[in-house]
Structures are given as C-alpha cells and as structure tokens.
C-alpha cells in the first residue's frame, strides 16, 4: 500500500506547509490515539527538540490524543532516544517525538516509538494513515485524556546513559568539548559527562528556538574542531538536533564519522568477546570499513540507507551492532534505537580502558575516497530495470577491477539519482563518477 504521509523516519516537512500544520497534528494525535489505545494502555509520551514550532505541535497533538481518550505525559525537550527509553520504562502505548533531526528550524516532523521503544511497524503506520481519512469524533467528556509533565524525565535518562558503561569507570582527566547543536541534548549531555568526572566544555548549548543545527552539530563540525584545538581537548563530541546521531573529533581536530565510530565499537566488542555476530552497515558505508572489519574477522552486511533498515537487518541476522556513515549507531546490547550519547560513551569507555587516544583507536581503519554526484531526474526511476544504465554501471565496475565499487540510488527526499563511486585512488574515483553521472544523465535525458 502506498504511503501518503509516512516516510522512512516518520513524517517531516516545512512548518506551515501540509502536512506539517497544526490542524494536521490535531488529527494525527487523534488517529494515533484511536489506533494505539486499548483497554490495558491509554498513555502516550510526547517529547520534542528545541524548534520554536515544537510548542505549537505539542499542543495540537495533546488535544488530539485527549479527544481520543488518551492520557499524555509531556517530556519537554529531550533526545529522540530518551523518548524511546522512557516509553518502555513508563509503560506507555507509544512515544511521540516532535523533531526534524538535523534539518534547520523551519522544518519539523513527527516520529513514533512503540511500547517496546522501537519504530512503529509498517502495518501500524498504514492503519494510522487510514484513520486520518476518518471523521474525527471526540470521546465522551468523562473519558477525555489528561495531560501532565514528567518532572524527572531528564534524570531518568541521564542515569540510563551512565548505566550503559561500567559503573566504576571514571572519565577524570579527560577534557571533552560537547557540541549540542542547540538541540535536544543541550541539558542532558553536559550533565552526563560532568557526572562521569570529565572536564566538559559545552558549545551549541543555548537554544533559542531558531538556532538548532545552525552552523553546528554533527553535520557541521568545524566549530567543534576549532574548539577542540583551542582548548587542547582530548576529543570533541557533536550531536545532531535530536540527539540520535553523533560525530567525533580527535585531539588533532580530525573528524570521525559513523563508519569510524562503528569500527571502534565493533573492535571493542570483538576483543571483549561481546560482539555476538557481525555488523550491519548500509550501501553507503565506506569500503574501508568493510576491509578493516574483515581484517578483524568481522563480517559486514549492508542494508538500505535508513536506520529502520539497519534495525530490520540486525533483527533478521540476530546481531547487535549496526549503523550509518551519518553517525546513527545502533547498539542493541545497550538500547533499542540509535543514540548519540550512548554511542559516544562506548567509544570514550574504550579510550579509558585501553589508555589510547581517539586517533589511535581509529588508526586500524583507512577510509577510501568516495565521490557522489546528484543527477536530476523528473519522476520516479526504476534503475534496476533500466538495462543501459545497468550496463554503464557494470562497465565502470570492470574499469575499477576490484579497486572500488559503484552505487546508484534514487534519493528518497529529492528528485535526483545519486551516483557514488568509491575506491583506492581518488583521481580514478572522481573520473569514474563524472563519466558515469554524465552517462546516466544522458540516458535519462537530463543534465548532470
């Protein structure tokens, strides 16, 4: 069944443009309440990041849920993974996150977690979409839902994050710069690392509703790099606006992305005998990660881009560790979803246990040059059924002769086909990407 509203990670768009409007959120809250409410559970959590539009959508969702007879627990600004955790521990039917992740403040969106703290199954999302087409009917006044704020939400999540590393571990002696992207981690992240005895320098921790992700955070780490060098810090940690992604900066100012973070955690789990299987990456995971893991005797399998697909493959394989180059790391032996703070804690723990710098921990992995060109298209394109394009891909792979790989995929958010080439030699990679993109553009009657 074709989805009308839900994408790979909830519903997202520009504020004020359908469906990211107050009236839609009112109806969405009601629909969620009708689909997920039952005789044994009538409680839903709502958390948000720091966007100014969060106030409006929080109120609209609250009203819709109440009209469906659901009680509402308001968490305020909290990281997305915190809402997943609290949904489980507070025994709610569902958790709702008001956030557009790493997007600018003018965007917003809605993500959902099940009672188990996982993304909603496809059939439940489709049922919510079906209910959105039904007329909204308010329950009897005596059955309307009530709303209250969870006053200890931050403390609960702080203690959970600390519980994911050894209780006796201290970060005393480490100087850490935290970039909170003026987002959902702005309070809890500094508190966690401070309570673990690190010397914390926080930046991007003064949200005003408009500055979330603006020239800061995991997608724009230049400010963090400069701060690490300025303060002589041991490392820097950058989160995105809702706290489910992370990027790291070593003491030399070099950025580590999700592939390198995944390598460090996988190697740590392997050496301690706790990996329990292989690692799930995505089709965009760097070839250098695959080769580095192979040298450690660790298998890497690739899922489609998107954390829900990584999670699906982890479940299918019965494995525990996976992630994306973007820094969305899933440690199922610690929690149910991607968590930037938890992922960073796993790496910092390894630094302390091994007595090694971040630069030394990542030294076993060398990233291969990767070049991507977006080819504009009009309408949907089935690349697998386009024989000339497949022939062009095979020709490019033959020229690389095992020194690299080629990936073509339609964007899920833009009218483009992403042409990516990766390999050992940067000049060769760029040349192959340019030639293939030109060929794809010509075959699709577009201009690269």
DSSP states along 257-301:
-HHHHHHHHHHHHHHTT---S-EEEETTS-HHHHHHHHHTT--EE
Residue 198 confidence (pLDDT) above 60: yes
Report whether CATH 3.40.109.10 matches the domain 370-443: no
Q: Which of 107, 437, 385, 133 is nearest to 242 (CA)?
A: 107
- pLDDT, residue 1, reads 58
Q: Check pLDDT > 80 for residue 409.
A: yes
* Contact assessment for residue 81 and residue 153, using Cβ atoms and an 8 Å cutoff: no
Which of the four pLDDT bands, split at 50, 70 and 90, describes residue 447?
Answer: very low
Taking 3-state DSSP, the helix, strand and coil percentages for the chain, each rounded to the nearest 5, stand at 40, 20, 40
- Is residue 414 very low, low, confident or very high in pLDDT (cuts 50, 70, 90)? confident
How many helices (H) and strands (E) are present in the chain, helices listed first? 14, 18
Q: What is the mean pLDDT of residues 33-62?
A: 95
Phi and psi, residue 11, nearest 5°: -120, 130
Structure tokens at 429: 């990679």
Whole-structure pTM value: 0.93
- Which residue, 179, 176, 194, is CA-closest to 224? 179
Is the pLDDT at 166 greater than 60, yes or no?
Answer: yes
Q: How confident is the model at residue 446, as a pLDDT?
A: 52
The answer to which of 80-84, 394-398, 412-416 has the lowest mean pLDDT is: 412-416
Q: What is the pLDDT of residue 378?
A: 81
pLDDT confidence bin for 261, thresholds 50/70/90: very high
Q: Which of 37-51, 133-147, 340-354 has the lowest mean pLDDT?
A: 37-51
Residue 39 pLDDT > 80, yes or no? no
Question: Would the pLDDT of 413 be above 70?
Answer: no
Q: What is the pLDDT of residue 448?
A: 45
User: Among all chains, which residue has been given the structure tokens 């521990």?
Assistant: 89
Label residue 228 exposed, middle or buried (CB < 10 Å: 0-12, 13-18, 19+): buried
Comparing 42-51, 232-241, 313-322, 436-445, which segment has the lowest mean pLDDT?
436-445
Catalytic, 101? Answer: yes
Distance between CA atoms of residues 38 and 43, nearest Å: 10
Regarding beta strands 107-114 and 94-98, do their DSSP bridges make them parallel or antiparallel, or are they unpaired? antiparallel
Residue 411, pLDDT score: 79
Catalytic residue among 66, 99, 101, 396: 101
For the cut 90, the answer to whether the pLDDT of residue 445 exceeds it is: no
Q: What is the CATH number of domain 170-255?
A: 3.40.120.10
| Contact present, 195 and 85 (Cβ < 8 Å) | no
What architecture (CATH level 2) is domain 11-151? 3-Layer(aba) Sandwich (3.40)
Residues of the chain with CATH 3.40.120.10: 11-151, 170-255, 257-339+351-367
pLDDT for res 305: 87
pLDDT at residue 333 in the model: 96
Asked if residue 279 has pLDDT above 50, the reply is yes
Q: How far apart are CA 316 and CA 328, in angstroms?
A: 19
Residues of the chain with CATH 3.30.310.50: 370-443
Under 8 Å CB-to-CB from 412, ≥6 apart: which residues? 7, 8, 305, 306
Dihedral of alpha carbons 96, 99, 100, 106, sign:
positive
**CATH class belonging to 257-339+351-367:** alpha beta
Q: What is the pLDDT of residue 149?
A: 97
Mean pLDDT, the chain, as a whole number? 95
Angle between helix 340-354 and helix 80-89 axes, rounded to 10 deg: 100
Least confident of 288-302, 348-362, 373-387: 373-387
């Amino acid at each position: 069944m074709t989805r009308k509203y839900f994408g790979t990670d909830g519903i997202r768009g520009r504020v004020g443009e359908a469906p990211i409007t107050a009236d839609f959120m009112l109806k969405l809250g009601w629909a969620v309440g009708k689909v997920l409410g039952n005789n044994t559970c009538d409680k839903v959590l709502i958390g948000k990041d720091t966007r100014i539009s969060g106030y409006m959508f929080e109120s609209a969702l609250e009203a819709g849920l109440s009209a469906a007879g659901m009680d509402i627990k308001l968490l305020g600004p909290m990281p997305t993974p915190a809402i997943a955790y609290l949904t489980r521990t507070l025994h709610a039917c569902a958790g709702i996150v008001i956030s557009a992740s790493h997007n600018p403040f003018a965007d917003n969106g809605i993500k959902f977690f099940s009672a188990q703290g996982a993304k909603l199954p496809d059939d439940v999302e489709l049922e919510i979409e079906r209910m959105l087409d039904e007329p909204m009917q308010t329950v009897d006044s005596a059955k309307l839902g009530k709303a209250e704020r969870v006053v200890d939400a931050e403390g609960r999540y702080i203690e959970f994050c600390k519980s994911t590393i050894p209780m006796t571990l201290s970060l005393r002696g480490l100087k850490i710069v935290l970039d909170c992207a003026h987002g959902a981690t702005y309070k809890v992240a500094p508190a966690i690392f401070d309570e673990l005895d690190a010397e914390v320098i926080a930046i991007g921790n003064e949200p005003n509703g408009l500055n979330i992700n603006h020239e800061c955070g995991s997608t724009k780490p230049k400010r963090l790099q400069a701060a690490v060098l300025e303060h002589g810090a041991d490392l820097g940690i950058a989160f995105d606006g809702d706290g489910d992604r992370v990027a790291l900066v070593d003491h030399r100012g070099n950025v580590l992305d999700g592939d390198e973070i995944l390598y460090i955690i996988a190697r740590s789990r392997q050496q301690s005998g706790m990996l329990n299987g292989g690692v799930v990456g995505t089709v965009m995971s760097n070839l250098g990660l695959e080769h580095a893991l192979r040298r450690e005797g660790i298998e890497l399998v690739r899922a489609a881009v998107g954390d829900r697909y990584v999670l699906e493959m982890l479940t299918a394989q019965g494995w525990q560790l996976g992630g994306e180059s973007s820094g969305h790391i899933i440690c199922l032996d610690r929690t149910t979803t991607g968590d930037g703070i938890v992922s960073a804690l796993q790496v910092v723990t390894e630094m302390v246990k091994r007595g090694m710098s971040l630069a030394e921990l990542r030294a076993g992995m060398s990233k291969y040059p990767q070049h991507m060109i977006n080819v504009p298209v009009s309408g949907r394109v089935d690349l697998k059924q386009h024989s000339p394009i497949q022939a062009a891909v095979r020709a490019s792979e033959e020229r690389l002769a095992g020194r690299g790989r080629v990936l073509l995929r339609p964007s899920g958010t833009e009218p483009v086909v992403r042409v990516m080439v990766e390999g050992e030699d940067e000049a060769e990679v760029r040349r192959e990407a340019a030639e293939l993109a030109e060929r794809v553009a010509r075959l699709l009657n577009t201009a690269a």
